[in-house]
Chains A and B, each alone.
Chain A
Amino acid sequence: MTFDLYLIIGSLPKMFEGIGLTLQLLFLSAFIGLILAVILLLMRLSLRWYLSIPAFLYTYVFRGTPMLIQIFVIYYGLPQFKSIQQSVLWPILREPFGCMVIALSLNTGAYVAEILRGGVLGVDKGLHEAGKALALTTSQRFIYITAPIAVRITLPAYSNDVIGLLKATALASTVTLMDVTGVARTIVAKTFAPYEIFISAAIIYLVLTWLIQTGFGLFEKRMSRYVKQ
């Protein structure tokens, strides 16, 4: 088995273009997913059953089914309906990029909602009581006491989720998108050199993972400066 270095170097430019798409998918989905997660969290924590139960079901479905299926339902399934074709969302849903972002956001939203919920539950009960005793309202307690502490608690789990999101972007290649994996598969199909190309792709993902972890590590350090070490 030979290891064709020239092949790798020659493919690098195309692979780097793939990185652009991968990162776009990552940042967009992470951002939208986070907003969705906060909404889901508030719904889940609500005492009103018509809010908390749908939120629970949503989370259950999206965490209990494969990402691939979620993508297929949105990419292949939704265009089936005339009502979708005529709706405002059509320009987005028609494109694989739009479908991918939606699928990723919906998925990560469910996971992050659970992570945030764990964080909120992890805030010391005594701190809530202190907030109550000081006559703070429920929303004041949530914004000034619960949320900041929950964010710090959930940072490690959230960074893991972002890395999971990065890995999920690779599925974009199944709907014709040219992200890192998509580019790699195309090159391999032409050159029959799976080891060189796929391993290079893996290295790119590993570098991105390392960057994400380091970034979060720094952020965690800053947020933990008031915590016992």
Chain B
Amino acid sequence: MDDTRQRPIILLENVCKFFGDFQAVKNVSLAIYQGQKVVICGPSGSGKSTLIRCVNRLEKHDSGHIIVDGIDLDDSTRNINEVRKKVGMVFQQFNLFPHLTVIQNLMLAPRLARKSSKVEAREIAMQYLERVHIPEQANKWPIQLSGGQQQRVAIARALCMKPQIMLFDEPTSALDPEMINEVLDVMVELAKEGMTMIVVSHEMGFARSVADLIVFMDFGEIVESNPPEEFFQNPRSERTKLFLNQIL
């Protein structure tokens, strides 16, 4: 094994996060390697969203370390922005900028944060729109697209920043059932291309076929983490078994 594979691209060490008195994340440690696909699942309120939102500093962790590609996440703005350029995020509610067209949504960050020229940004944007199979929607307003299309645009928008890691926070939970697959298919393609992905999701079919590691969280702690076959066939903890019974 070479060096880059040995050093985790994301290292979480004893991370704790409080909201007032409530502890949302309790002493979580996790190492994620480049190219790994990690699916985090668990009941609502288990802290899984909070955890990944700490990785790009949308939430501030209260103690422990989060090291992303060698950068220790702290309050320094420069560090935060460096990390955010390496980490792309896809939200449950898509969060496309409503006042910009699809292509403008994609071009905004590369132009402002990476200082790309208009021409470069447009090329990259069209490239990724093709990747998510909706290049013809480039000049539409987000409101004119279906939920599944909007989420695919959101994925493309994050990809335009050429991140090394992609975070997905329940990407299909806000979609009507018939649109879930078009988004999952894009995510599967992304996985096949070697992207490092952390996905918070209930889509167990996706987890089973794509994940290298499934992490089960409950009450802010990691209860169990295993490759899919182990996870689904031999759940070790009672809580895991309970959860699997409920969703499968």
On whether A and B touch (CB less than 8 Å), the answer reads: yes
Chain A residues with a Cβ under 8 A of chain B: 124, 126-127, 129-130, 132-137, 140, 144-145, 148-149, 152, 225-228
Q: Does B61 sit at the interface, judged by CB under 8 A?
A: no
Report the separation of the CA atoms of residues A124 and B94 in the bound assembly, to the nearest whole angstrom. 12
Among B58, B85, B143, contact of A226 (Cβ-Cβ < 8 Å): B143
A226/B142 contact (C-beta < 8 A), A126-B95, A135-B85 known = yes
* Interface segment out of the listed B105-113, B116-124, B196-204, B215-223: B105-113
Q: Does B98 sit at the interface, judged by CB under 8 A?
A: yes
Among B57, B96, B109, B158, contact of A136 (Cβ-Cβ < 8 Å): B109
B81 and A137 within 8 A (CB): yes
Report the separation of the CA atoms of residues A225 and B157 in the bound assembly, to the nearest whole angstrom. 22
Report the separation of the CA atoms of residues A148 and B97 in the bound assembly, to the nearest whole angstrom. 10
B99 and A152 within 8 A (CB): yes
Q: 6 pairs across A/B with beta carbons < 8 Å?
A: A127-B97, A133-B88, A133-B158, A140-B113, A149-B98, A152-B99
Residue of B nearest to A134 (CB): B109
> Inside 8 A of A129's CB, which chain B residues have their CB?
58, 91, 95
B98 and A226 within 8 A (CB): yes
Report the separation of the CA atoms of residues A137 and B111 in the bound assembly, to the nearest whole angstrom. 12
Report the separation of the CA atoms of residues A228 and B91 in the bound assembly, to the nearest whole angstrom. 21
B85 and A148 within 8 A (CB): no
Q: Does B214 sit at the interface, judged by CB under 8 A?
A: no
Chain B residues with a Cβ under 8 A of chain A: 56-58, 81, 84-85, 87-89, 91, 93, 95-99, 108-109, 112-113, 141-143, 154, 157-158, 161
Report the separation of the CA atoms of residues A145 and B96 in the bound assembly, to the nearest whole angstrom. 10
The dominant DSSP class at the B interface is mixed
B112 and A136 within 8 A (CB): yes
A136 and B88 within 8 A (CB): no
The dominant DSSP class at the A interface is helix
Report the separation of the CA atoms of residues A145 and B112 in the bound assembly, to the nearest whole angstrom. 12
Among B81, B112, B143, contact of A227 (Cβ-Cβ < 8 Å): B143
Among B56, B93, B98, B108, contact of A133 (Cβ-Cβ < 8 Å): B56
A135/B97 contact (C-beta < 8 A), A130-B91, A226-B141, A227-B143 known = no
Residue of A nearest to B98 (CB): A226
Residue of B nearest to A148 (CB): B99
A-B complex: 8 closest residue pairs judged by Cβ atoms:
A134-B109, A130-B95, A135-B84, A133-B89, A226-B141, A126-B95, A135-B113, A135-B85
> Inside 8 A of B157's CB, which chain A residues have their CB?
134
Report the separation of the CA atoms of residues A145 and B97 in the bound assembly, to the nearest whole angstrom. 7
Among B81, B112, B154, B161, contact of A144 (Cβ-Cβ < 8 Å): B112
Q: What would 12 more interface pairs be, CB under 8 Å, given A135-B109, A227-B98?
A: A126-B95, A127-B97, A129-B58, A130-B89, A130-B91, A130-B96, A132-B57, A134-B161, A137-B113, A140-B112, A149-B99, A226-B143
**How far in angstroms is the closest Cβ of chain B from A102?**
35
Residue of B nearest to A143 (CB): B112
B58 and A132 within 8 A (CB): yes
Report the separation of the CA atoms of residues A83 and B107 in the bound assembly, to the nearest whole angstrom. 54
> Inside 8 A of B97's CB, which chain A residues have their CB?
127, 130, 145
- Residue among B91, B97, B154 with the most chain A CB within 10 A? B97
B143 and A228 within 8 A (CB): yes
B161 and A127 within 8 A (CB): no
A134 and B81 within 8 A (CB): no
Report the separation of the CA atoms of residues A204 and B39 in the bound assembly, to the nearest whole angstrom. 68
> Inside 8 A of B99's CB, which chain A residues have their CB?
148-149, 152, 226
> Inside 8 A of B112's CB, which chain A residues have their CB?
136-137, 140, 144
Report the separation of the CA atoms of residues A34 and B163 in the bound assembly, to the nearest whole angstrom. 40
**How far in angstroms is the closest Cβ of chain A from B7?**
23
**How far in angstroms is the closest Cβ of chain A from B114?**
8
A133 and B58 within 8 A (CB): yes
> Inside 8 A of A130's CB, which chain B residues have their CB?
89, 91, 95-97, 154
**How far in angstroms is the closest Cβ of chain A from B56?**
6
- Residue among B87, B109, B161 with the most chain A CB within 10 A? B109
Report the separation of the CA atoms of residues A135 and B97 in the bound assembly, to the nearest whole angstrom. 15
Among A134, A152, A225, contact of B108 (Cβ-Cβ < 8 Å): A134
- Residue among A137, A145, A226 with the most chain B CB within 10 A? A226
**How far in angstroms is the closest Cβ of chain B from A144?**
6
- Residue among A127, A135, A137 with the most chain B CB within 10 A? A135
